[in-house]
Structures are given as structure tokens and as C-alpha cells.
Chains A and B, each alone.
Chain A
């Protein structure tokens, strides 16, 4: 083990590894530049290095980029990466209360914890988890999508009907573009820009970022305020003690994140939303979620980094990419002379051992690199609010454009900004709409293909064991609160009578 660590920590590996992590912080923290982009840009450079250095760069950049996405999400309400969407909810609310430094420090520590748990699961339970993931067919993926969507009811508790309307509108937006089975362009009105559908990234930037700018602009007094962050001064001991107090949430969110990450096509963004919903569902402080609740910060950030470990499971065991990052990494592994698949554990056992060690050490390095990254960001965020709001607008525009190099996406940012502003003014939650847009294609495709397979019969959706379990969980998610409320009021009435 010591020999492995010493072999990894030699300068020819450590230096590019640390540089790629700094690069990951920078890319992840820029709205519009994703972790996938960071990895894609690193691959050509890593080609000239030994395979282990290349893998260290890829692992380092991906984990740090996913964490860094939470920095603008917390301070500006613009998710830096798609996986940081859920971090805008409670992290930003904490920042509004002057607790942004605590929120982002918790983000950092929980990202590292989540990452470690994800990698440990990857090391110890890869083969059985990968086999489980392969049992998912259209029926199971449909219920998984519905389960993710049911989180919109949990997220918008107290306003459930508006949350569900928001999610349904998100699903409807996801139907724009080429139909999956016939190729017919739906709701595109002859506009070729709409043939590929509405990307959820401009929607997310508009709904969260621009709508927030619009809210500030509505109130002239707010423009006179100074920066959003005073100093990053959260004490390490306080943050660590909070994390240890909430260790149950960290562990459960990381496990949920890893399992969802292991499902091909799911990924870190869905993992973060689902863990947020689960954490809220089982929290004693569920009414504080969305108002700056610490558990609401911990759950998504633990899950999205853990999900990265999860995405490596089908990639290594079967050569199936769990998400776009592992799709690129699989190509890179072939380039390094590695053949992902069941035999990789025998053929490249030593290299895999070193790779897993790198992934674990990355989480510790993340604490240092991430802390320095937050410090740098806090300098930028200390500028006056009227100046900052223009920067937010500019990076929202650039972020939306850079994803698909489409000016139409910039227009979408403005449209979604106005929609988001109007929705918030009537207390309609924004997050379910994003969930709808993200999960829409998964739900529709698997629902329709499943029905085509069964010639229109819905019964097979409930007959397969995993489908049935997921269906029961969905029912529980929707129905548990009304049932508990009814039972509680009945119990109270009985007590009053006696």
C-alpha cells in the first residue's frame, strides 16, 4: 500500500494531478463550462503522459469541477455545472442570511466525504452493483424517472400542487424537439433551433440566475448593497463538527448518489436532486428546507460527488459509460491501452489499485485545492452588488451560449429568466420545472418503449420485482404525508375526546 502511494506521489504524476484539479475548480466554477468539458480538454494533454498521470488528471479534474459548480450556485444562484442545480436551493438561502461561508465549507467537506464513499463503494461492491444496474430495463427506468419526479412533490411541500404543475410544465418543455420514435419535430414551429429540444442548462441558468437578477432589479434599495460575501471565515472545527453531527445524511446521500450514478444514463444531476428530496422527506426540519437548512446543503453535494464514483462502476465492469464524463474516460482508457470490461480487474489489477488510491487521495487534495478556490472566488464576490449583477448577467449569457454554441440558448435564458421571476412571484417552485426538463426524456422514452413492447399493456410495469419496489416507493413518496397527517389528526381528535 505504501509502495502504491509513493509511486503515485512522484512529481511526474502529482504535478499534473494538482494542476488539473486547479483547472477543475476554475472550469466548474464558471457557469456554462461543465465537468465534462474539463475532462474533454484534459484528455489531449494527458495523451503525452504516462497512463497513471493521465488518469490522475481526469479523476482530479472531474471531482473538483463537480464541487466547484456549487460555488456560484451558493453565492450567485447560478449552478456552475448541471450537477449543482440542487445546491442553489438551501446554499443560496444560507448565503442570503450571511452564512454563505459555512454553506460552501460544508459543501467542500461533504463533497470530499461523498467522493470517498462513492469510491469505496466502487472498490468493494462494483461487480454486484453493476449487475444490479444491468437489470434495469425500460420499465425500471420509467419508475426511476417517476421516483425522481416525485421529489418535486417533496421539494415543494406546502405548495405541492404548484410544485406538480411546475414539474408537469417542465415535462411538457422536454417534449419540444424531435420525437424519439418517429423523428417528427414536435412544437418546433419550423424553427430548426428547436429540433434538438430545449437544453436544461439555459433553462436552469435563466430560472435561477436571471430571475434572481430580475428580483434584485425590482428593488432599487438592493442595488446599493455591497458584496454577497464578506470573508470566508467558517471555522474548520465548527464545519467538521456539523458534518459529524449530520453524518447519517452524508452517508445516506452518498449511497443514494452512488447507486443512481451507477445506473447508465442517470448521472450526478439526478442523484443530487433525488438525495435532496430523500433528505427532506426524512428530516425533522423538513419545513426549513428551501430556507437555508444545513441538511439541504449536505445532501445534494454529498450525492453529486459520490455519483461520480458510481458512474465508474458500469464503466469499469462492463465498459458502459454511466454519464458523459465516463464516456470520454472510456475512450481515454482505450487510448492508454486499457480495456474496460470484466477482465480489467485481472489484466490491469495493479493499475486499477493505483487508480482507486488516486481517487481516494483526490478527495483529501480537494479540501486544500477547493479551499483555495473558494478564497479566490470570495475576492470576486466582494464587489458591489450592482456591479456583480452585471457580471452574473454576462456569465449567464456566455454560459448558455458555450454549451451548444447557440445564440438561441441565450434567448432562452432571457425567456426562462422572466418565467422564473413570474413563477416565484406567485410562489410556484422552480426546482420541479428543472426536474421535469431533466427527467422528461427518460420518462417518456421508457414509458413509450415499454408500452410498445407490451402492445399497450401497463401491467408489466408492475410485474417485474424492481419495478414493483420502485412503484411502491413512488406511492409512498406521494401518499405518506397525507396519510400521516390524517392519522395524526385522527389520533389527536381521539385524545381530545378521552
Chain B
């Protein structure tokens, strides 16, 4: 965990610096010449807190003698699956504008079922159930306005 803590501290320092740089562009908040807590006040306060936390993590990582090992098990297969899932969600947000919500959801869920070792017949069946459920419950009953394709579904 020592290394993980140091990496976390680095990320926190990066976030803090980013916040300071970004808030420098924010307008100042003054009323009748009196400086008041404006849009920069709270983010800057939090950035200072993060810097203090980063300092604590770094110092602590040098003081700890015993290092706790990370128990997480990684496999290439697992990593590929994880990346696949995230990429599929991102792809979904793009294709939805062209194919419509329901068609895109059918394709994405079908791809996910196949990737997760569900046979293709069951994958089609489950994907169809999902789409029918979304259509009748969310779109028809709850009137959730799903994006549609040029053919209207």
C-alpha cells in the first residue's frame, strides 16, 4: 500500500494544483468594495485540504515499516473484460444518436452477453427481453423520452 498511497498523494497534488490554476480564472466576488467569498472560495479550501492529506500520506508512507500487500487478483482475461465493458458503455453513448436507444441497447447487451460467455441464442433472447421491457415500462408507461433513430424507434 506504500506505493499506492504515494501514487494517491501524487494524484491529490495534481488535482489541487489543477484546482488552483482553474480557480485563478474565476471572477472575484466583491460588493461595494468588500471582498466576499466567491466562486473560488470553496474549491480552493478543498484543494488546500487535499494538499494536507497528500502530505500526510507521503510522510506516513515513509514512517510505516510493515507494508500491507494488495490482495486484488488481476488476470489479462479480467482486464480485457473490464475494458470491454467500459468501452461498450462509451460506444453506446455515441451510437445512440444514430441507431436510437432501443436498437443500441439491443446491440450493446447482445455484445456483452456474448463476451460474458452466454450462448448466442440466449444472448438474443435476453437482449430482446431487455428491449421489450425498456420499451413498455420506461418508454410507454413512464414516458422516458429515449432517443430514436430515423425510423422512429
CB distance from A174 to the nearest CB of B (A): 9
B24 interface hit (Cβ, 8 Å): no
A390 touches B113 (CB 8 A): yes
Given known contacts A220-B77, A220-B78, A398-B134, A184 and B26 CB-to-CB distance under 8 angstroms: yes
B124 interface hit (Cβ, 8 Å): no
A233 interface hit (Cβ, 8 Å): no
A213 interface hit (Cβ, 8 Å): yes
CB distance from A18 to the nearest CB of B (A): 18
A411 interface hit (Cβ, 8 Å): yes
B72 touches A425 (CB 8 A): yes
Q: What band does the interface of chain A fall in when counting residues whose beta carbon is under 8 Å from B?
A: 35 or more
Which of B39, B73, B89, B145 is A393 in contact with, Cβ under 8 Å? B89
A386 touches B117 (CB 8 A): yes
A394 touches B26 (CB 8 A): no
Cα A423 to Cα B60 with chains together (Å): 19
CB distance from A33 to the nearest CB of B (A): 7
A448 touches B41 (CB 8 A): yes
Which of B4, B38, B81, B112 is A182 in contact with, Cβ under 8 Å? B38
With a cutoff of 8 Å between Cβ atoms, the chain B residues found around residue A175 in the complex are 42-43, 46
- B50, B57, B70, B122 pick with most chain A CB within 10 angstroms: B50
With a cutoff of 8 Å between Cβ atoms, the chain A residues found around residue B15 in the complex are 169, 172
Over the window 450-469 of chain A, the binary record of Cβ atoms lying under 8 Å from chain B Cβ atoms (1 yes, 0 no) is 01100110000000000000
B116 touches A389 (CB 8 A): yes
Cα A335 to Cα B1 with chains together (Å): 60
With a cutoff of 8 Å between Cβ atoms, the chain B residues found around residue A448 in the complex are 37, 41-42
A390 touches B75 (CB 8 A): no
With a cutoff of 8 Å between Cβ atoms, the chain B residues found around residue A421 in the complex are 82
B39 touches A405 (CB 8 A): no
With a cutoff of 8 Å between Cβ atoms, the chain A residues found around residue B97 in the complex are 407
- B5, B19, B81, B116 pick with most chain A CB within 10 angstroms: B116
Total interface residues on B, CB under 8 Å, equals 67
A417 interface hit (Cβ, 8 Å): yes
A413 touches B89 (CB 8 A): yes
Over the window 77-111 of chain B, the binary record of Cβ atoms lying under 8 Å from chain A Cβ atoms (1 yes, 0 no) is 11101100110011011001100010001001100
B72 touches A391 (CB 8 A): no
Mostly, the A contact residues are helix
Over the window 418-436 of chain A, the binary record of Cβ atoms lying under 8 Å from chain B Cβ atoms (1 yes, 0 no) is 1001000111100000000
With a cutoff of 8 Å between Cβ atoms, the chain B residues found around residue A455 in the complex are 34, 36
Which of B4, B130, B142 is A402 in contact with, Cβ under 8 Å? B142
Which of B42, B75, B79, B89 is A444 in contact with, Cβ under 8 Å? B42
With a cutoff of 8 Å between Cβ atoms, the chain A residues found around residue B60 in the complex are 161
A387 touches B53 (CB 8 A): no
With a cutoff of 8 Å between Cβ atoms, the chain B residues found around residue A218 in the complex are 72-75, 78-79, 81-82
CB distance from B86 to the nearest CB of A (A): 5
A390 touches B109 (CB 8 A): yes
Cα A98 to Cα B126 with chains together (Å): 26
Which of A187, A210, A402 is B138 in contact with, Cβ under 8 Å? A402
B120 interface hit (Cβ, 8 Å): no
Which of A181, A214, A418, A447 is B38 in contact with, Cβ under 8 Å? A181
With a cutoff of 8 Å between Cβ atoms, the chain A residues found around residue B22 in the complex are 186-187
Return the chain A residue nearest B114 by Cβ.
A390
A447 touches B42 (CB 8 A): yes
A134 interface hit (Cβ, 8 Å): no
CB distance from A482 to the nearest CB of B (A): 15
With a cutoff of 8 Å between Cβ atoms, the chain B residues found around residue A162 in the complex are 8
With a cutoff of 8 Å between Cβ atoms, the chain A residues found around residue B72 in the complex are 218, 425
Given known contacts A387-B113, A411-B93, A426 and B4 CB-to-CB distance under 8 angstroms: yes
CB distance from B51 to the nearest CB of A (A): 10
A186 touches B26 (CB 8 A): yes
Over the window 26-41 of chain A, the binary record of Cβ atoms lying under 8 Å from chain B Cβ atoms (1 yes, 0 no) is 0000100100010001
A367 interface hit (Cβ, 8 Å): no
B8 touches A397 (CB 8 A): no
Given known contacts A387-B126, A456-B36, A219 and B42 CB-to-CB distance under 8 angstroms: no
With a cutoff of 8 Å between Cβ atoms, the chain A residues found around residue B145 in the complex are 405
With a cutoff of 8 Å between Cβ atoms, the chain A residues found around residue B50 in the complex are 165, 168-169, 172
B36 touches A451 (CB 8 A): yes
Return the chain B residue nearest A413 by Cβ.
B89
12 A-B pairs within 8 Å (CB atoms) are namely A161-B60, A168-B53, A214-B86, A218-B79, A218-B82, A390-B126, A410-B89, A413-B89, A421-B82, A455-B34, A456-B35, A456-B36
Those 5 A-B pairs whose CB atoms lie nearest each other, nearest first: A218-B78, A217-B81, A179-B39, A414-B89, A386-B116
Where the two chains meet, the residues of B that have a C-beta atom closer than 8 Å to any C-beta of A are: 1, 4-5, 8, 12, 15, 19, 22-23, 26-27, 29, 34-39, 41-43, 46-47, 49-50, 53, 56-57, 60, 70, 72-75, 77-79, 81-82, 85-86, 89-90, 92-93, 96-97, 101, 105, 108-109, 112-113, 116-118, 122, 126, 130, 134, 137-138, 142, 144-147
